[in-house]
Structure 1
Amino acid sequence: MRKFGLIGYPLSHSFSKKYFANKFEKEGIADAQYELFPIAAISELPKLLSDNSDLVGLNVTIPYKEQVIAYLDVMDPKAEAIGAVNTIKIEGGKLTGYNTDYFGFKDSLLKFIGANGLPEKALILGTGGASKAVKAVLEDLGIEYKFVSREPAEGQLSYESIVSSPNHILSSLLIVNTTPLGMSPNEASLADLPYEQLTHDHLLYDLVYNPMKTAFMQKGIEAKCWVKNGLEMLHGQAEKSWEIWNG
């Protein structure tokens, strides 16, 4: 039996186990199982690996997509360029890190807006590991972007600056939420933005997929924007992970 799983904290929101259980049943894969491993600190990873010697693949979610890099033996060039890892292949005692969020987000974004309708500018809410994959996709698609953070670094925007200057929202027709705001069970939480400035030309993409309609998306719906959650991205990155683990 080959074991796969997900590390992160917390994991009560995750659909990954259900997704892979359905996949294994549907495709008649009898030699694999997928488990959730909520670890309170990334330093618990070595013990997790020693206690589960049959692990051959892991997915990585909030908040460890950057922290896990220190525990890897090898980095796929794309993941190294992005600076975040959400998939680990375990083979011969070696841990190799990949980023399948990139592929999941890119495919889903292009289905959402189409290659011919790409906006010129975007705002990326959050600066964690998931935001780095979004950044890489936008760069490859030629979309200008700005990060928005509660504690902005140089070249980034604060939420306060977005509120005080309408131009940021008006000129950035794609807004991508990469934060856990709105994720179950804290479904009412959302980024502090001037949502009244949204127009029907705006596209709101929320990487959160539980609940299916987040508070962020609801603000977009009320403004007659196009909205999308992260479920399709989850499926896309999961399939890419499976391809890597079995490649």
Structure 2
Amino acid sequence: MPAPESPSEAASDDAVIRLGLIGDNIAVSQAPRLHRLAGLQNGRKVTYDRLVPRELGQDHATILANCAAQGYRGLNITYPYKEKVAALVRISDPIVRRLGAVNTVLFEPTGAEGHNTDHSGFISAYRAARGGTPPGATLLIGTGGVGRAIAFALVALDAAEIRLADHDIEKAEVLASELEAAKPGLRVTVGRDAAEISEGAEGLINATPVGMTGHPGSPLEASAITGAWAFDAVYTPVETEFLAVAQAAGLQVISGYELFIWQGVDAWKLFTGLPLDVARLRSDLAKTDPATS
């Protein structure tokens, strides 16, 4: 089988662009639609497969290897495999190496290369909503793959303080030490109970699966949802219980759908190097899925 296309080769011929998503609970993911619509903008056919390990009877490492052998251009990676896949691929970007989590893998002739567009996508989503306003003291609930990407994005956005809440306190403490090393002098607080360390926070972020389809609820009790802004990494559904309460409390809310859009835009650029009209992409997604309109 010929080697997978490089971005320049992908943009220069009419070969099908084969993509996929490794993750659990991804039946309602809009990633396949996003990339197929991106392909249509460029007159290219895109196939995009949902690859659920338990349904395929294979582990994530086997699926990754099989896709590389079967001519896939690349894969997106979602919960709970971002950190696991990071250990299986080459990571050239020092920021992504520090994150220790990847959500995008390219199959290059030299091997599988890991990237993280959650990191870049969150920065774009935040700036689109809040401009140059810094995040302030921010509570981040969940320190897994997407949480790590957002935590380092908060450093890039010059957050004054980051509070990490996770039931796995050791994992949160490791991230705290990494953030302090990345930005000496940054104040980082760690706790198991999000509500206990939420007082006075300007920003509230949910980076857990709580609130997504199949995992109802909110990661933070309503009485603790105060501040200036809130973001939920969950985008299925677009309006989560967490964001609904935050909006009712007067906070500026940023939907996980914004992260979905921007990380997808960045992933498409990595996969293909082809241009993308983001306004048209949003419009096309809304037309094909009334839930996003």
Q: Under a length normalisation based on structure 1, what TM-score does the superposition of the two structures give?
A: 0.88
2:74 to 49, 54, 57: 57
The one of 109, 127, 136 equivalent to 2:143 is 127
Question: Is contact 1:87-1:241 (8 Å) kept?
Answer: yes
Match of 2:84 in 1: 67
Amino acid at match of 1:133: A
Residue in 2 aligned with 1:241? 267
Q: How far has the Cα of 1:93 moved from its partner?
A: 5.4
Partner of 2:200: 171
Q: TM-score, normalised by structure 2?
A: 0.75
Question: Percent identity between the aligned chains?
Answer: 27
Q: CA deviation at 1:231?
A: 1.1
Deviation of residue 17 (structure 1)? Answer: 0.5
Task: Give a deviation string over 1:147-187, Cα, whole Å, max 9, x none.
Answer: 1012323452111xx44x4xx3332110111111110133x
The partner residue of 1:189 within 199, 202, 217 is 217
- Aligned-residue CA RMSD (Å): 1.9
Q: Deviations over 1:66-94 (max 9, x none)?
A: 00022213443221122110111101151
Higher fraction of strand: 1
Distance 1:194 1:202, change over 3 A: farther
Counterpart position of 1:44: 62
Of the three residues 26, 41, 56, the one matched with 1:11 is 26
Match of 2:284 in 1: none
Give how far 1:103 is off: 1.0
Q: Distance in 1 between matches of 2:135 and 2:102?
A: 27
Q: Deviations over 1:33-53 (max 9, x none)?
A: 222111233233345326x61
What's the offset of the Cα at 1:227? 1.3
1:114 aligns with 2:131: yes
Residue 198 of structure 2 aligns to a residue whose secondary structure is: helix
1:35 matched to 2:69? The reply is no
Query: Whole-Å Cα distance in 2 between the matches of residues 21 and 212 of structure 1?
Result: 20
CA distance in 1, matches of 2:222, 2:228: 11
Tell me by how many angstroms 1:220 deviates. 0.8
Judged with a 3 Å threshold, the aligned counterparts in structure 2 of structure 1 residues 218 and 54 are, in CA distance, closer, same or farther, namely: same
Q: Retained in 2: the 8 A contact 1:125–1:177? A: yes
| CA apart distance, 1:237 | 1.0
Structure 2 residue aligned with 1:24, among 35, 39, 46? 39
Question: Structure 2 stretches of 5 or more lacking a match?
Answer: 1-15, 174-188, 274-293
Give the conservation status (yes or no) of the 8 Å contact 2:140–2:163. Answer: yes
Partner of 2:233: 207
Question: Which residue is 1:85 aligned to?
Answer: 102
Q: Does residue 176 of structure 2 align to residue 158 of structure 1?
A: no
